[in-house]
Every structure is written in structure tokens, then in C-alpha cells.
Structure 1
Amino acid sequence: MNSSKILDVVKKPLPAKAFQWKGVSEQSKKDLLQFLNHTGCTDLYAFTLTEHGLSIETLEGQMRVDTGAYIICGNANEYWAVREDIFLSTYNIIE
């Protein structure tokens, strides 16, 4: 009988790009487009912006982006949002 071995693991550090969403405003829209251009986003349809807020179509489904949350672009050009408190406690900003 094969038994499963329990492994101790640490998640690999992978570089990513991040942008803090400041809420629905003309400046935030410009900043978001600049971020998407910088990261090479080819699927603008993944982002939905209304007068009520921003949402992203992620690998796990539709995700609302709260004001102050960070939008992350991963190494495979996937996007997701992270609450500000979680972002600040789990990500290191590279200078």
C-alpha cells in the first residue's frame, strides 16, 4: 500500500507587479490603464468598471476590487485583487 508523505513546504517567491486601486475616479481610471499597459494586459475585457466600482474576471471567477485593494499581475499575466491589510502583511515591496 502506498502511503502519502506529508511535506513541509514554503511557497516560492515569484515577482509580480502591483497597483493600488483608489476608487472610481477619472485619475484612477487613467492609473489603471497605465498599470495594464505596463504589465502588457491583452485582455481588457477581464476588467469591468462601473460607477459602483471595479471587478476583475480572475481564474477563480468574478472578483470585486474594493477601494484601497491592490491589483496584482502575476508571472502568467493573470490578475487578482488583494485587500490592503493582507497585501501589506504578505507582500514585500522591492525597491
Structure 2
Amino acid sequence: MAKYRKKPVVIDAIQFKVIKEIPCLHGVAKEHNSMDIAKFMNVPFLKVPTAPNGTPEGRTYIEIETLEGTMQADLGDYIIRGVKGEYYPCKPDIFEQIYEKVEDGAA
């Protein structure tokens, strides 16, 4: 048995988040940064569906095409551009354990 260390690599990432809450007839409408994520991923747009999950708001997510197939990124998840230009979602607790910010950039 041998021990290995992960090579240091700098990645680009953006967090899927609510950027504005707008009062409306049914409570609060939430505006997401899906257009910023679409630009980051170089795609024209991203669909932001909401699925029931036992809460009045439901579960809001985006679908990411990865090397392993389609994955869902929930609000709060990070979308990472890998070293070969691939994209995949990462839960915030895992992201924060693995990565630290080295610089701010426009997304």
C-alpha cells in the first residue's frame, strides 16, 4: 500500500444561488443566477425547474451534462469546470473541504 496526495489544480467554479427575492401574489418569487451559469458553461440558457420535495417552494435545480451523464445541481451547489473543460455539480460542504478561493473573477 502507498499513500497519494491530490495534485494541486486551480479550477473555475460558480455557485447556483438566489440573487433576488421579489414579493408577489403567492409569496416571494426568487430570481436565480442561471444566466450567469449559462454564460460560464458557454450554453445559450439553462432550464430551472422546481420539483416537489414536501416544502411549499419545492426543490429548485438545474441539470448539468457531465461525462457521467445528466446530473442535477440544487440551489447552493457549485458548478465546476474540470481540467478538460467538463462541468459537474458539487455540494457546498464538499466544495469547501476541497477548494479554497485563490482569486475573484467575473462569472
TM-score (normalised: structure 2): 0.65
Normalized per residue, the structure richer in helix is 1
State which of 69, 90, 99 in structure 2 corresponds to 1:61. Answer: 69
Greater mean deviation of Cα atoms: 71-80 or 47-56 = 47-56
State which of 74, 79, 83 in structure 1 corresponds to 2:82. Answer: 74
**What runs of 5+ residues in structure 2 fail to find an aligned partner?**
19-29, 51-60
State which of 32, 35, 44 in structure 2 corresponds to 1:30. Answer: 35
State which of 2, 8, 13 in structure 2 corresponds to 1:7. Answer: 2
Task: Give RMSD over aligned pairs.
Answer: 2.3
Greater mean deviation of Cα atoms: 51-60 or 82-91 = 51-60
The number of aligned residues is 82
SS of corresponding position for 1:72: strand
In 2, are the aligned partners of 1:15 and 1:74 still within 8 Å (CA)?
A: no
State which of 62, 85, 92 in structure 1 corresponds to 2:93. Answer: 85
Higher relative contact order (CA 8 A, sep 6+): 1
User: Quick one: distance in 2 between partners of 1:50 and 1:19?
Assistant: 16
Moved over 3 A (4+): none
Percent identity over the alignment is 35
**What runs of 5+ residues in structure 1 fail to find an aligned partner?**
1-5
